[in-house]
Structure 1
Amino acid sequence: MPKRSGRAPASRALAAVAAVLTLTLSVAFSSTASADELEDRKAAIEAEKEKVHQDYEYLGEDIAETVAKLNVYKGQLPAAQQQLADAEARVDSAAGKVSALNERVALAQETHETITAQIEKDREDIAATEKAIGQIASQAYKNGGVPSTLSLMFGAKGADSLSDSLGMAEQALKGQNAAVEKLSEQNANNVNSEARLVAVADEINKLKAQAEEALMAEQSARDSAAAEKQKVDDLVAQTSAMNQELEAQKPQLQAQMATLEKESAQVTADIAEKQRVLLEEYRKREQARIDAENRAAAEEAARNNRPAPPAAAVPQPSNPSSFGLRYPVNGAPVSSGFGWRATPAGSIDFLGNGGYLHSGIDFAPSCGTPVHAPAAGHVWRADQGGGEMIGTGNRIVLNHGVVEGNALATNYYHLNSFAVSSGQWVNQGQLIGYVGSTGNSTGCHLHFETVLNGDLVDPMRLL
C-alpha cells in the first residue's frame, strides 16, 4: 500500500486517484443486464474493493467502492467492445446474406418467368405443328392417300407428267416426316422445360425460406447489437457520474494529501536526523579506534627499527544485509510491494507528481497476528501517531543502531495494540505488537518500512 516517500509521499488517496481514476470512459453491465450478470458484477466489484483496500490504505470506504467500480468497468471494456464489434459484424453478415438470397430469389424468379414463356411458346409451336400434320393427313385422305410409285407411272401421261407426280409425292412425304420429327423434338423440349420449371419453383421456395430465416437472424443480430450499444451508453453515463463525484471530492483529498505529505516528510526527516547523529558518532569512534591502532603500529615499528606501516582508514559500510532481519510476521503474504508507481496516462494526478512511491511493503495477515522484532534494537516510538501521523494508527519505530557503517530503523503501522513501550530494548524475535487496522486503514494489515542511512529503502533487500 502507498506510504510516505521522500519524492512524493504515497498517501492512499493520492495512490488510488493517481493510479486508477482514468478519464477514459469504459464499458460495464447495463441496467438491462440479466440477474446473473448483475450478481457477477457485484461480486467482481466486491473483490476489486478488497484489492483497492490492500493497495490504497488512506482511502475512505465510499471512494474505495467508486474506484473499485471504475477498475471493474475498465477491466470489462475490452470484452464489451469486442462483443459490440462481434454483434455489429453479425449484423453486416446477416444483412449481406439477406441481400444475396434476395438476389438469388430474383434471379430464380426471372428464370421461372423465362421458362414459363418458353413453355408457352413451345405449346403454341406444338399446336401449329400438329395443325400442319393434320392438314397433310387431310390432303392425303382427299387424294386417296399418297399413291404408290407404280400407280404414278401408269397414271402418268408422258414423262413430264410422271416426273411431276413423283416430285409431289416426295415432297408430301418429306413434309410429313419433317413435321412429325419437329413435333417429337418440341414435345421433348416441352417436357424438359416443365421439369426445369418444377426445379426452379422448388429452388424459389427454398430460397425464400432461407431468406426469411436470414432476415430473422439479421433482426436478432440488430437487437443484440442494440443491447450491447445500450450497455455502452449506460456505462458512459455511470462513469461520467463517478468522475464528477470524485472531482467534487478533489479539494478535500488535496488538503488531506498535503497534510500527509508534510507529516510523512517530517517523520522520515526525524529518523534521518537521528541516524545522522548515530552515524557521526560511529564514524568518530571508528576513527579514534583506527587512529589508536595506527599510532600503536607506528610505535611498534619504531621500537623494532622498522618502517612504519601504511595508516589504516575507517572501512566503508558493508552490505546492509548484515543486520540479519527476519520477517516481522510469520507466513503472511506480501499484499503490496515497494517502489515508484507511475500514474497511467490520462488519469487525474492531484499533486502533479506523475505517480507515487509505495515506501514500504504490506503484509496481509488477520487482525491480532503477532508482530516480532526482525532484529534487536531500541524502541524509539510506540504510540498512536496522534497529531503528527494521523494516518498510521498505532505505530512502532525500532532503532537497530549502526552495524558495519549502516544505520537502520524499521517502522510498523496500523497495529491493533503494543507489547513494548518507548525506550525499551528488544531482542530479535521478541513480540512487539499485534496486527490491526487502526488509523486511516480499511482492512487488517501491517505496513512495514525500513529506513537505511536516512532513506526509505525496499525492505525485501534486507529481509
Structure 2
Amino acid sequence: MRRPQLRLVAGLATAAVAATLVFAGTASPAAGDSIDDKRAAAERARAQNAKERADAEDAMEGVNAAIQVTSDRLLEIKGKIPGAQAKLDAANAVRDKAQREAQIIAGRLQDAKDQKVSLAQTIKKDSDDAAKTRAAIGQMAREAYRTGGTVSGIEVVLDASSTDDFIERYGQMTTALRTQAQVLDSLKTSEATNKGAHVRLGAVQVRIGELKQQADQKLATAKTAATKAAQARAELDQLLAEQKTKQASLEAQRAQVLQQIRAADAEAGRIKSELKHLAAQARARDREIARKKAEAARKAAEEAKKHHNKPPASNGGGGGGSTVTPSGAVFSNPTSVNPIHVTSEYGMRFHPILHYVRLHAGIDLRTYCDTKVYAGRDGIVLWDRFRTGYGNQVMIDHGSYQGNSLMSSYNHLNRGVVSSGQYVERGQLIGYAGNTGTSAACHLHFEVYINGATTNPRPYLGL
C-alpha cells in the first residue's frame, strides 16, 4: 500500500512542475484584438467629434460666448468618453489577467502545501513502520538468544520423535525463516522509501518558496492593476457626470440660445439690407472710387516729384500686406499667415446637441491675436464698428465686379484702424485680428458679398 501512495505523491509533484512550465500567462489573441478594435473606434470617434465641435462653433456664431463655451465643453467631453471607455476596458483586462494569474499561482501554492503535508504523513508512517519492524527484529533476536541460536535443519531431524513431529518442526522452522526474511525486506523497503520521501519533501519545500514569491509578486501586480482600473473608472464616471450636467445646462438655455440666434440672424439680415441698399448705389460708388483713386494717384505723383521723382511705394502706403493676387483670384490674402490657411469653410452647419441648422456665412482664416489684417482689394470703407455676434467688423465696398456689386467684411477684429468713407488699397492695413463678438479663438471670419448676399469666399481668394 505504501508504494502506490508514494507514486501518487510523486505524480502530483511532477504534474505541478509541468503545469508551471506550460502556463504562459498572456492574454488571448481575441482579447487583444478586442482592445485594439475599441482603441480604433475611439480614434474614429475623436476625429468625428473634432468635426462636430467645429460645426457647432460655426453654428453658434453670434450666440452668447458663455453658452458657446458650455456647448464646446459638452462636445469635448463627448469626444473624450470613447477614449476613457477604451482606457477603462484596457485597465480592466490587465486587472482581470493579473487576478487570474494570481489565482492560478495561489492554487499551485496550495497544491504544493498539500503535497508537503502528504509527504510528511508518509514519512511519519514509514518511520513508524520501520520502528515496529526493528522492534520485531529485536524480539526475534532475543528469542533466538534465549533458545540458543538459530534452529538448523539437522537439529530438526535429530530432535524429531516421529515423522509427524519432524514435519511439524520443519514447517515451523520454514515459517520462522520466511518471516525473518520478510521482516528484513520490509525494513529495507521502509528505509528506502523514507529516504526518497525526504528528498521529495525537500524539493516541494523549495517549490513552495518559489511559488510564494511568485504569488506575492502577482498579488502586487493585481493590486496595482486594480488601482489603475478604479482610477480609469472614476475618470469615466466624472466625464459622464459632467456630461449630464452640461447637457442639462444647455437644454435649460435652449430657448435663450435660439433667441440669440434669431437676434444674430436679424443682425445679419440688417447688414444684408444695408448692403443691398448700398449695392443699388454701386454706379455712383464706382465713380467715387475712380475719383478718389485718381486723387490718390495725383497725390502720389506730387509726392514723387517732391522726392526727386522717386516712384511711389508699390502698395500706396498699404502697411505691408500682400498685393500679389493668385491667378483667377479677386482678393489677395487678407491675413499675415502665408499661404492662406482655412480653418472652417462656408456652408450650412448642424449643431450636434441643440439640433438646428444654420449658415456659416463666411470662411474662417487662421490668424493670431493682434496680427495684422489687410484689405483684400481696393475699395471704400463702409464702416468700422462693433456688430452683434461679429465683434469689431470692417466692411469694404469694392465697387462693381463683372456687373455686380462686390463687398467684403473682416470680423472678430481686436480693433480696426480705418474709418467710414476712407479709401483703402489692396494690402493696406485695416485692423488687427482678435476674438471679439462670439468667437472661440482669435481668427479672421472673412465674408464676401455679391449684390448684398453672402457667397463662398474660397474661389474669390483663388483657393
Smaller-chain TM-score bracket: 0.5 to 0.7
**How many Å separate the matches in 2 of 1:178 and 1:363?**
103
**How many Å separate the matches in 1 of 2:346 and 2:370?**
25
- Cα pair 1:101 1:211 within 8 Å, conserved: yes
Deviation at 1:77, TM superposition (A): 2.7
Deviation at 1:243, TM superposition (A): 3.5
**How many Å separate the matches in 1 of 2:141 and 2:122?**
28
TM-score (norm 1): 0.63
Asked if 1:231 is matched to 2:229, the reply is: no
Instruction: Identify which of 449, 452, 458 aligns with 1:451.
Output: 449
Asked if 1:395 is matched to 2:394, the reply is: yes
Deviations 1:119-172 (A, max 9, x none): 333233223322332343334334432355566666667877767666554444
Deviation at 1:188, TM superposition (A): 0.8
1:116 aligned residue: 120
- Secondary structure, counterpart of 1:393 in structure 2: strand
**How many Å separate the matches in 2 of 1:236 and 1:400?**
54
1:305 aligned residue: none
Aligned residue-pair number: 364
1:103 aligned residue: 107
- Secondary structure, counterpart of 2:390 in structure 1: helix
**How many Å separate the matches in 2 of 1:321 and 1:274?**
29
Deviations 1:268-305 (A, max 9, x none): 355467668979xxxxxxxxxxxxxxxxxxxxxxxxxx
1:460 aligned residue: 458
Sequence identity percentage: 24
The aligned runs of 1:47-66 (5 Å cut-off) are: 58=62, 60=64, 62-63=66-67, 65-66=69-70
Asked if 1:339 is matched to 2:346, the reply is: yes
1:190 aligned residue: 194
Deviations 1:302-345 (A, max 9, x none): xxxxxxxxxxxxxxxxxx97564321234355363223364365
**How many Å separate the matches in 2 of 1:329 and 1:220?**
53
- Cα pair 1:449 1:459 within 8 Å, conserved: yes
- Kindly tell me: are residues 50 and 366 of structure 1, through their superposed partners in 2, closer, same or farther at Cα, counting changes over 3 Å? farther
**How many Å separate the matches in 2 of 1:183 and 1:438?**
101
- Secondary structure, counterpart of 2:332 in structure 1: coil
1:410 aligned residue: 408
- Secondary structure, counterpart of 2:409 in structure 1: strand
2:437 aligned residue: 440
Deviation at 1:185, TM superposition (A): 0.7
**How many Å separate the matches in 2 of 1:445 and 1:107?**
70
Instruction: Identify which of 364, 369, 386 aligns with 2:367.
Output: 364
Deviation at 1:369, TM superposition (A): 1.5
- Kindly tell me: are residues 214 and 427 of structure 1, through their superposed partners in 2, closer, same or farther at Cα, counting changes over 3 Å? closer
Which sections of structure 1, spanning at least 5 residues, go unmatched?
1-48, 280-319
The Cα RMSD (Å) is 4.2
**How many Å separate the matches in 2 of 1:142 and 1:368?**
125
- Cα pair 1:382 1:418 within 8 Å, conserved: no
Amino acid at match of 1:362: L
- Secondary structure, counterpart of 1:440 in structure 2: coil
Instruction: Identify which of 263, 267, 280 aligns with 2:267.
Output: 263
**How many Å separate the matches in 2 of 1:96 and 1:71?**
38
- Kindly tell me: are residues 380 and 91 of structure 1, through their superposed partners in 2, closer, same or farther at Cα, counting changes over 3 Å? closer
- Kindly tell me: are residues 390 and 56 of structure 1, through their superposed partners in 2, closer, same or farther at Cα, counting changes over 3 Å? closer
Asked if 1:379 is matched to 2:372, the reply is: no
1:327 aligned residue: 333
- Kindly tell me: are residues 441 and 368 of structure 1, through their superposed partners in 2, closer, same or farther at Cα, counting changes over 3 Å? farther
- Secondary structure, counterpart of 1:462 in structure 2: helix
Deviations 1:247-276 (A, max 9, x none): 444443322210211221343355467668
- Cα pair 1:435 1:446 within 8 Å, conserved: no
The aligned runs of 1:261-340 (5 Å cut-off) are: 261-268=265-272, 271=275, 322=328, 324-331=330-337, 334=341, 336-340=343-347
Deviations 1:68-106 (A, max 9, x none): 544554443334323333343344334434433443344
- Cα pair 1:371 1:434 within 8 Å, conserved: yes
Amino acid at match of 2:360: L
Deviation at 1:434, TM superposition (A): 1.7
Instruction: Identify which of 240, 244, 254 aligns with 1:240.
Output: 244
Deviation at 1:216, TM superposition (A): 4.8
1:11 aligned residue: none
**How many Å separate the matches in 1 of 2:246 and 2:159?**
120
Asked if 1:126 is matched to 2:133, the reply is: no
**How many Å separate the matches in 1 of 2:220 and 2:444?**
60
TM-score (norm 2): 0.63
**How many Å separate the matches in 1 of 2:435 and 2:162?**
145
Amino acid at match of 1:395: V
Deviation at 1:182, TM superposition (A): 1.7
1:88 aligned residue: 92
2:312 aligned residue: none
**How many Å separate the matches in 1 of 2:226 and 2:328?**
69
